[in-house]
Structure 1
Amino acid sequence: MEYQQNLNGHFKKSRFRFFIGILFFLFTVFLIQHRISSGQGFRVWDWIGIVIFLLNGLYHLTGGMGYALENFFGRKSFVHIDDDKFRIKTIGKEHVIFWSETESIEFRNGYLRFSLRKETLLLIQLSVLDDISKELFWEAHLVGKDKEYYHMEQLVNLGALPYSGFKIAAFQLKIVGASAAPARVVAVME
């Protein structure tokens, strides 16, 4: 299994935002033309205003076309999940967590909480992702579209198990028409 998601650039194309960007650019052109035609020189505050309006215009134009301005400046934010590790980079630094070192993962209140075998705890704040975190972590439930898998959560006493040498049995409730159900999960030692 491999999953990769760019966390920048989740804008939908929007004619309204594109129009707002055009208005910012037109206002900037009008401001420059007014200063030149009136014979007044440009003051520091004029330049500051021009730069602010140009940047707002650029931001809304690129957003209206479906692009994030952050992508043009090399600020990368992503999530990459494969068979060996989980990598996430948000505004802060990049975190790499190997599955072999992971005891449990919990997603609550805008945080990913990793309990690692080395008895360390790693919290990754996802609130910087805004609505993207809700979108992104719901997609984990769609993995079964391509390849069937069994998703188990809220398991306890995993620390009492050895690294290998056991099998898992899940005795689930039969619910007619459901794609998921609560289960009693047990480890059978070999």
Structure 2
Amino acid sequence: RAGALLLEDCAIAHADTQAGDFLLTAADGRQIRAGTVINAAGAWGAVVAGWFGDVLPLQVKYPTMLVTEPLTRQIGVSLGVEGGGFYARQVARGNFVMGGGYGHALPGDRSRPGPAALAELSRTAPAILPVLARASIIRCWSGIEGYFPDKNPVIGFSARVPRLLHAFGFSGGGFQIAPAVGETLADMALDRGRLLMADRFSPTRWTR
């Protein structure tokens, strides 16, 4: 409604700067020129940053997740154990969605849950929520996420390339804060404001 154009299935294969702008070339040959680029490529953010010479210490991991059968209402908040490898929430239908530990990569940007992580979840989950001791697991799955060593994301402009704005590496918390991050990125891209505690999220914090 605001006039944005969304291009689906448009994987960018190459990026370059040209006359002060960015020239992005898609895998199918389409070319896109832009005055500002926001690199919000998630687990692939460091690869995109590398196209422009920004080297960032992103670690790619594959979180293990599972969901139970519907159970009677037990909790109304999201639980997380810092350093304990367990987090869970109960959806309106009664299913528990939980995770902890990591799986492994498969070819083609795919992943599988980790057997060791699933085994550890089977021990940890009932210890924290006893109702889960006899719950049936409906399915399990994995994903692909990017993590930085300090667990903080990168949100800020490149020190090397003007008008290149990085925003990735949310270390598992990106969905929760995405609306606020999106508003902040819009303000930064349009020079309407700046990020609070910018040093903490700066792409250059490992090189200073």
TM-score (normalised: structure 1):
0.20
The structure where helix makes up a greater share of residues is 1
Q: Greater strand share, 1 or 2?
A: 2
Structure with the larger RCO, 1 or 2 (CA within 8 Å, 6+ apart): 2
Question: Max radius of gyration: which structure?
Answer: 1
